[in-house]
């Protein structure tokens, strides 16, 4: 049996960020993921400047070897209606290919890795967690998405009362002919809301790649809404008429929909495994990265690993994202007064689509930078959290 100080299940942005943040602590860490990286990941794939800052990544440096699409504005509207275009006058976000981005983050984590490895068993013995009867650890981290086996061990899964948001999307490299037939602009992603505001669709062009998708809480109506959206966008010339038949399903939990515990004795959940996606947009990358850094900050304090000692992590999550209300009302969390015929008028407003939909719901510009010690410093040297000049 191989012993580790902690084992992370999941190599996406949450798991890789935690491993990166703890790599100078002297702890022996194992990261396990069922995939072999780089791997495809269903995700629209935009990353806000706050994520790059938290990860200590300069967008220019990342963009030298990877696809990076600067975003300066958005086209926003209700499906079937005219869109409103806003130009923010500067780069407010970036488009990435998740296969590249996630692989890049994982490559920064100087820890042992068991990739292309499924979790066949989890049990406890002598106060430690035992994984696949091969590895033993006193601290187990679930970072494997909403269906993470660690979260399922804690009671999450099909039998829970959690409401899962379902999405279908595709990302593919366009042929020259398809690129000419696609009027979507890379610096201006398109956000199209369902008429009942129970979900939204998107078109995101990143260089020669195109990402199209739609997410809703009610999975049964998802195909109908997606078909309507695709047909309408093709008729408008926003996307090519000959999309590949490659829509992929994926799911995630919104913060107010998740009921799973964040900590227990010797276990912590981070990122999508903890159900931390932003209520309004469903974005999971920033919550994944920030939750990993908050977990790292608690782990660096050398707690005794009881649920009580790990609870400061849960308290930090509540301070950052709010106390879960558990009464969410769909992928787009908006006041009831918006979910009326007034919504069509609001979606025609440059002020509303820019200040509320783009800057507040999707860019989260009202959320201040995370204030934590620099995770790259060696243990015992507390410094102000790194931010670029």
> Using the 8-state DSSP alphabet, how is residue 310 labeled?
H
For residue 246, what pLDDT is reported? 83
For residue 336, what pLDDT is reported? 45
Torsion sign (Cα): 11, 273, 366, 22: negative
For residue 384, what pLDDT is reported? 31
Q: What pLDDT tens digit does each residue of the chain (389 aa) get? A: 899 999 999 999 999 999 999 999 999 999 999 999 999 888 889 899 999 999 999 999 999 999 999 999 999 999 988 999 999 999 999 999 999 999 999 999 999 999 999 999 999 999 999 999 999 999 999 999 988 999 999 887 666 667 788 899 999 999 999 999 999 999 999 999 988 878 899 999 999 999 999 999 888 899 999 999 999 999 999 999 999 988 999 888 877 777 788 999 999 999 999 999 887 788 899 999 999 999 999 999 999 999 999 999 999 999 998 876 544 444 444 444 445 456 678 888 999 999 999 999 999 999 898 888 888 776 543 333 333 33
Q: Which residues contact 137 (CB under 8 A, 6 or more apart)?
A: 3, 4, 5, 6, 7, 30, 128, 129, 131
Helices (H), 136-273: 149-153, 176-180, 222-235
For residue 109, what pLDDT is reported? 94
What spatial distance separates the first Cα and last Cα of the chain, rounded to whole Å?
A: 47
For residue 183, what pLDDT is reported? 95
Mapped onto helix, strand or coil, the DSSP state of residue 293 is helix
Peptide bond into 337 cis (omega under 30): no
- Cβ atoms of 112 and 135 within 8 Å: the answer is no
Q: Which residues contact 86 (CB under 8 A, 6 or more apart)?
A: 73, 74, 76, 350, 353, 354, 358
Residue with tokens 């049990």, as numbered in its chain: 123
For residue 379, what pLDDT is reported? 52
Beta strands in 100-247 (DSSP E): 112-114, 122-125, 128-131, 135-137, 140-142, 165-173, 190-193, 199-206, 209-216
pTM value? 0.91
User: What's the Cα-to-Cα distance from 51 to each of 17, 62, 246, 341, 370, rounded to whole Å?
Assistant: 11, 13, 29, 36, 10
Helix axes 98-108, 13-21, angle to 10 degrees: 20
For residue 380, what pLDDT is reported? 46
46-47 and 263-264 as β-strands: parallel, antiparallel, unpaired?
unpaired
């Amino acid at each position: 049996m191989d012993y580790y100080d902690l084992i992370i299940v999941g190599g996406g942005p949450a798991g890789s960020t935690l491993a990166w943040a703890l790599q100078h602590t002297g702890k022996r860490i194992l990261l396990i993921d069922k995939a072999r990286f780089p791997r495809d990941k269903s995700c629209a794939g935009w990353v806000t400047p706050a994520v790059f800052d938290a990860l200590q990544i300069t967008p220019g440096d990342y963009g030298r070897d990877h696809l990076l699409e600067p975003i300066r504005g958005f086209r926003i509207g209700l499906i079937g209606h005219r869109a409103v275009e806003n130009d923010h006058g500067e780069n407010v976000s970036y488009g990435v290919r998740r296969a590249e981005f996630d692989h890049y983050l994982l490559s920064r984590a100087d820890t042992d890795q068991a990739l292309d490895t499924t979790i066949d068993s989890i049990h406890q013995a002598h106060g430690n967690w035992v994984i696949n009867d091969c590895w033993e650890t006193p601290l187990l981290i679930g970072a494997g998405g909403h269906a993470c086996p660690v979260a399922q061990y804690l009671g999450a899964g099909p039998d829970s009362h959690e409401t899962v948001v379902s999405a279908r999307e595709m990302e593919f490299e366009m042929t020259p002919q398809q690129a000419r037939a696609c009027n979507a602009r890379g610096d201006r992603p398109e956000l199209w809301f369902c008429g009942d505001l129970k979900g939204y669709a998107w078109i995101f062009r990143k260089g020669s790649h195109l990402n199209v998708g739609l997410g809703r809480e009610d999975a049964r109506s998802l195909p109908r809404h997606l078909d309507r959206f695709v047909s309408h966008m093709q008729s408008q010339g926003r996307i090519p008429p000959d999309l590949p038949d490659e829509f992929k399903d994926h799911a995630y939990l919104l913060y107010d929909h998740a009921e799973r515990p964040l900590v227990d004795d010797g276990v912590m959940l981070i990122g999508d495994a903890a159900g931390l996606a932003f209520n309004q947009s469903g974005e999971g990358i920033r919550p994944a990265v920030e939750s990993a850094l908050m977990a790292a900050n608690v782990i660096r304090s050398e707690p005794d690993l009881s649920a009580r000692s790990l609870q400061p992590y849960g308290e930090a999550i509540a301070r950052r994202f709010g106390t879960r209300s558990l009464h969410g009302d769909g992928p787009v969390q908006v006041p009831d007064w918006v979910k009326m015929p007034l919504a069509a008028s609001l979606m025609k407003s440059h002020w509303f689509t820019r200040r509320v939909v783009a800057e507040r719901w999707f860019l989260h510009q009202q959320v201040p930078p995370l204030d934590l010690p620099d995770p790259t410093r060696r243990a015992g040297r507390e410094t102000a959290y790194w931010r670029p000049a």
